[in-house]
Amino acid sequence: MAQVTEYVVVVGATGAFGTVMVERFLARGLGVIAVARSAATLEALAAKHPGLIACAADIAHDASIAAIRAALPGPVRMVVHGPGVSVGGGVLNISTAALVDAVNIKVGGLLRLVRAVDGHLRPNSRLVAIGGHYGFEPTAYAAAAGVANAALVNVVRQLSLAYGERGITAHLVAPGPADTERLHRVAADRARLQNTTVDVVLAGMLDESSIHAFTEPGQVAWALEILLAPEASAMTGSTLMLDAGRRRGLP
């Protein structure tokens, strides 16, 4: 096996999106530092991928900075910040604490991740946040995702400006709803509010897409592989929309 010379740090590595990302990066010969809160789920992931470096850390707390930094064995080619946040409810019933927690995990977590790896970044390194469709197309039923992901748009742009002098770029990837366990929790919450069934809510979500599809984890991993190319530096500060034709607004 070829010697690993560059690494990718994936926060949220044990989730539906993260596990696919890990597989893709390892297949490209990159080292992967997998970050998640649960040591048990990380152990299960590492058992499937012996070359994986597992790092149990809660990105919602500053202690994660030292934990991630200590796990880094070499230059960082890319960081991917993709933790999930609790559903929380809609704008009329979400607790303010849940909303603050979501912003802390998404925005505060991204800043903690970047600060942890800063000394290992090189020209052409990539800082990537996984945002979401609801950050651009607000809905009354997904307050946490909408507010936290909208904030990520601004923070990614700020990072692109701050790191540009070093030749390091920042990017936001914004998937549409994906057919995951989390989506079904969102649908169940919306169904209760609308006094309908989960199947009806899911069908309505599919109809929001011009191709009547949910985004797949493999499609998000594909976008991250694109960002590894040197030519991707032209996209710094911008958003890759992977919403399956849900976005209505301009630009």
pLDDT tens, position by position, 32-73: 999 999 999 999 999 999 999 999 999 999 999 999 999 999
Q: Is 34 helix (H, G, I), strand (E, B) or coil?
A: strand
Tell me the C-alpha distance between 160 and 60, whole Å: 22
Element (H, E) at 186: helix 181-194
Contact 64, 114 (CB under 8 A): no
- In sequence order, what are the beta bridge partners of 172? 129, 239
Average pLDDT of the chain, as a whole number: 95
Average pLDDT value for residue range 184-191: 85
Q: What's the whole-model pTM score?
A: 0.95
User: Which residues sit opposite 241 in a β-bridge?
Assistant: 174
pLDDT at 6 over 90: yes
134 within 8 A of 211, measured Cβ to Cβ: no
Query: What is the Cα Rg of the chain in Å?
Result: 18
Predicted confidence band at 85 (pLDDT cuts at 50, 70, 90)?
Answer: confident
Closest Cα partner for 48 from 67, 20, 71? Answer: 20
Comparison of pLDDT for 67 and 133, the residue scoring more:
67
The answer on pLDDT for 250 being more than 60 is yes
Q: Which helix (H) or strand (E) holds 47?
A: helix 39-48
Cβ within 8 Å of residue 157, ≥6 positions away: 170, 237
User: pLDDT band for position 1 (50/70/90)?
Assistant: low
Interacting residues of 250 by C-beta distance below 8 A, sequence separation 6+: none
pLDDT, residue 39, reads: 97
pLDDT at 2 over 80: no
